[in-house]
Structure 1
Amino acid sequence: MRLRLLLVCVLLGLVSAPLAEADRVYHSEHMDLMRVVGSTDPLHKGFVQNIHPNGPNVYAHEIYVLSGALPTATYTVHLLVHLFSPTCAGASTQFAVTPLTTNRSGNGQADLLIRPPIPAPIRNATHGVRWEVRRDGVLQYATAC
């Protein structure tokens, strides 16, 4: 029995090692969404899960979650990139817009897959990134840079 348990542990270690190595290149990041000043919509919790496998088929996978937001509402999540500015100084470039619809409880989830090719000068540099969530064009929630 102990030998079997030891073998299972070793196998799990071998399987998870490449995943840990990939995460060392770019750690997955959990960014909280916060209500902005002037927001009219409630929010219990919201976040962006930013995952970068940097693979040949998927460069990034982002998951957007709202909990306790306005019921049955349609939002848009805006991915804003500050090229070559890790502190988000200066103007941003809107990289993508993703629709997110909440249910009767105000909960919703959407995701975005970013696929290669990403131009090499952009892909291999450090940028500031932030997300904004809007309803009817009005900013309601945002992440920090």
Structure 2
Amino acid sequence: MVRQLSVFIQNKSGKIASVTRTLYQNGIDIRALSVADTADFGILRMLVSDVEKARTALANENCIVSVNEVDVVAVPDRPGGTAEVLQRLAEANIDIEYMYSLIDRGTSDAYMVFRLSDEANTNNVLEELGLKTVPGKMLGLN
């Protein structure tokens, strides 16, 4: 499992820039980022180099921040690699709450970040596919 930072932001111009600027000013690297929004608010989900430092820096800027755990899975970087994993998760009745991707230039794999409904069963399905979750340190995360 990898620790993910979620920042709740108003859906207004410049809010994401403000968050990323705060992270930059505190020497924090963003390794992956996803935005989900509604008309009024959004959730900025990120994998960052130092979760606790990021949480503190953003809280000091009056941001609403939470930390939760997600799975990062190395998926074969070929046509159908992601589709195969998603099909197997569906067959095992594992719901995907959300997902996004990240790229690591030092490998031939693609990485998918998952928040899944059934952690115990997920590990079995991934093992059957010959896939494993990736530890945060391997991706430059604390």
TM-score class normalised by the smaller sequence: under 0.3
Q: Relative to total residues, which structure has the larger helix share, 1 or 2?
A: 2
Task: Kindly name which structure, 1 or 2, has the bigger radius of gyration based on alpha carbons.
Answer: 1
- TM-score scaled by structure 2? 0.27
The structure with higher relative contact order (CA 8 Å, sep 6+) is 2
